[in-house]
Amino acid sequence: MTDQRTTAAETPLWPAPTAAGGPVDATVTVPGSKSVTNRGLVLAALSSEPGWLRRPLRSRDTLLMAEALRTMGVQIEETVSSASRTAAVEGAPVSGEAWRVIPTTLHGPATVDVGNAGTVMRFLPPVAALADGAIRFDGDPRAYERPLHGVIDALRTLGARVEDAGRGALPLTVHGGGSLTGGTVEIDASSSSQFVSALLLSGARFNQGVEVRHTGRTLPSTPHIRMTVDMLRAAGAQVDAPEDGGEPNVWRVTPGALLGRDVTVEPDLSNAQPFLAAALVTGGRVTVPDWPARTTQPGDALRDIFSAMGGSYELDERGLTFTGSGRISGIDVDLSDVGELTPGIAAVAALADSESVLRGVAHLRLHETDRLAALVKEVNGLGGDVTETDDGLRIRPRPLHGGVFHTYDDHRLATAGALLGLAVEGVQVENIATTGKTLPDFPALWEGMLGTPVGERA
Ligand SMILES: O=C(O)C1=C[C@@H](OP(=O)(O)O)[C@@H](O)[C@H](O)C1
Ligand SMILES: C=C(OP(=O)(O)O)C(=O)O
């Protein structure tokens, strides 16, 4: 676990509210999906005509993506409705309701700040290879440690010039020539599905398209690859994928133009997790409106995972309503397809009445932080009994006590800490603002769900 904590003075502690008011009963409107927003931005920037992204997520990861594309020449305009304009005049904060994306001939020189966004650091080097000029990529210290070799090596095979000081990681410079040959490439994407998504997203614009052959033993987050394939097809690309009867572990994108589209972004179902979990933990009820009937988002798996842990759900015109039973059972589950849900599931499992084993998530050691090590340290710091296995966690519930829950600049650690705080008095979450990576409104949404501002709670 890389400890990037800043000093206590810089990272205030957030007293996590307990569910002192009893079971939660709330409707929580969750902002747009990070994964859909950032794919939508990339595809729109590579299209042959302008497009729209409605209800985009506005968070650190997506604003970094938008800014990066702007530095390469893409125009991204915010539109605001007249109702929001009136609110602005009256002093209320305004967020853009839609982004109009106007593509252009991409160009350097430019510098891209990837922050610690996997989607930005992996999806954009192939875009940069299509630009004319040098595009430098830099980011947070942790971003230097996250795997990028799959993208860098692949781009070289496909004809790009990439300078990375031999590290196979950030910082790096892509020297684009305005086009890329493309063709067939073998990669090992066992450390991140985003390597595959990155090459496919830009692949239609390579002269020969792209054929990506994954050679590693395992492949995480396959629904996210499916999301890439579906969004590419919706933008007019011809894509062959394994799940449609193609060769296993091989994807092909035919060269061709992408269409400008009008995309409405689904709510981020992984960010719905803490709210649904609150229903489970307190034996209450939470409704998330606009839950899609069909989706490639991994968060959709929460319906079944949390039901297996003791709740039940209804999906109807109101959205997804999840109801806790007052009892939480442990679970033995393979999370390889839905790895980003692990911290939240681990937090619920620590409050269950039996042991849990979370499997298939070794690659989480290279996420925002080493999530397995961080969860062991922080849950055990509150009196828990969590151990690391080769590919995940074993969680034996024990009575927990209050204390500081460190978050290592990891948004999902922060929401996991908030969840524990619902059931355990005196939990203080360090740097709750780190939720801004994908959910800037988290503290307000959380307090709104509980019905009372924290300061006013008993
Ligand atoms: O493509 C995407 O949008 C994502 C893919 C997954 O990455 P990994 O395959 O690296 O886990 C996921 O964890 C991440 O939050 C988002
Ligand atoms: C792993 C995650 O993000 P990233 O896109 O930075 O990989 C995440 O959001 O849980």
Domain of 347: which CATH number? 3.65.10.10
| pLDDT above 70 for 420 | yes
pLDDT for the residue numbered 10 = 60
pLDDT for the residue numbered 455 = 43
SS3 451: coil
Helices and strands (H and E) in the chain: how many: 13, 23
pLDDT tens digits, 119-144 = 999 999 999 999 999 999 999 999 99
Extended strands (E) in 222-297: 239-240, 250-253, 262-264, 285-288
412 lines ligand 2 (CB under 6 A): yes
pTM of this structure? 0.95
Ligand nearest to the CA of 35: 1
96 lines ligand 1 (CB under 6 A): no
| pLDDT above 60 for 92 | no
Facing residues of 332 across strands? 357
Residue 191 known to bind ligand: no
**344 and 250 in a common domain:** no
Ligand nearest to the CA of 229: 1
**258 and 275 in a common domain:** no
* Structural contact between residues 347 and 419, judged by C-beta atoms closer than 8 angstroms: yes
Taking all residues of the chain, what is their mean pLDDT, rounded to a whole number?
94
Distance 199 CA to ligand 1 centre (A): 14
60 lines ligand 2 (CB under 6 A): no
* Structural contact between residues 401 and 421, judged by C-beta atoms closer than 8 angstroms: no
119 lines ligand 1 (CB under 6 A): yes
**360 and 252 in a common domain:** no
| pLDDT above 80 for 275 | yes
**198 and 115 in a common domain:** yes
More confident residue, 173 or 6: 173
- Percent of the chain clearing pLDDT 90 (strictly above): 90
pLDDT for the residue numbered 174 = 98
Facing residues of 288 across strands? 320
pLDDT range class, residue 21, cuts 50, 70, 90: confident
**C-alpha distance across the termini of the chain, in Å:** 36
The secondary element (H helix, E strand) that includes residue 113 is strand 110-113
Q: Find, among 368, 374, 431, 342, the residue nearest to 1 by Cα.
A: 374
pLDDT tens digits, 217-256 = 999 999 999 999 999 999 999 999 999 998 999 999 999 9
Residue 377 known to bind ligand: no
Residue with tokens 């709330």: 26
SS3 347: helix
pLDDT for the residue numbered 97 = 86
**166 and 43 in a common domain:** yes
User: Sign of torsion, CA 339 343 347 350?
Assistant: positive
Confirm whether 4 is domain-assigned. no
**175 and 70 in a common domain:** yes
pLDDT for the residue numbered 79 = 84
**192 and 66 in a common domain:** yes
Cα 343 to chain centroid, rounded: 13
